[in-house]
Amino acid sequence: MASVKHFQVTFDCAEPERVGRFWCEALGYVPPAPPEGFDTWDDYNLTLPPEERGSWFAASDPTGVGPRMYFQRVPEGKVVKNRLHLDVRVGTGLVGAERLAALEAECARLIPLGATRGQLLVADDKNESCLGMFDVEGNEFCLD
C-alpha cells in the first residue's frame, strides 16, 4: 500500500500573480514571504532578468492542511475545457434551499474578485446542487 504524498496543484496561466492572488482570496491561502534579503516580491523580481519577472507565484494553506498551489506563466492561452478543476466545498452537508443559498453567497463574494458565474446544476436524485464558475483567466471550478 502506497503512503500518502504531499502534492501541489499547478496552474498554467498568463499572469501568475493575478491568478494566484485570486485563489488566495478565494481559499484563504497566503503567498510565501519574499526571499531573505528582500522586503517585497517586487524588490526580488527587479533583480531577475526581464523575461523571468513575474513568471511564477505560489500560495499555501496557512493551516498546512491543503495542498500548495503554484502558478506558472506559459506562452499559450487557454483554449479548451480544463481536464482537471477544483471543487470549492462551500455547501458540504447542506441540502436544498440552504445549500443553494451557500453557493449563491460564495458566488457573490467571488465575482468582485474577478470570478465569472457559470451554470447552476440543480440537485437531482443522485447529486446535490453545484455552481460552475471561472477564475480570473477562465479556468473552470465548481462551488460544491
**69, 93: one domain:** no
**19, 69: one domain:** yes
Digit-coded pLDDT (tens) for 10-38: 999 999 999 999 999 999 999 999 999 99
pLDDT for position 4: 73
Last residue of a domain, one of 48, 73, 98: 73
**14, 49: one domain:** yes
**33, 64: one domain:** yes
Q: What is the 3-state secondary structure (H, E, C) of the chain?
A: CCCCCCCEEEEEECCHHHHHHHHHHHHCCECCCCCCCCCCHHHHHCCCCHHHCCCEEEEECCCCCCCEEEEEECCCCCCCCCCCCEEECCCCCCCHHHHHHHHHHHHHHHHHHCCEEEEEECCCCCCCCEEEEECCCCCEEEEC
Last residue of a domain, one of 73, 97, 117: 73
Which structural domain, as residue segments, surrounds residue 104? 86-143
Across-strand partners of 116? 134
**45, 100: one domain:** no
Domain contains 30: yes
Digit-coded pLDDT (tens) for 65-97: 999 999 999 988 888 888 889 999 999 999 999
| Count: domains in the chain | 2
Q: What is the mean pLDDT of the chain?
A: 93
At residue 107, does pLDDT exceed 70? yes
**13, 60: one domain:** yes
Domain contains 128: yes
Domain contains 64: yes
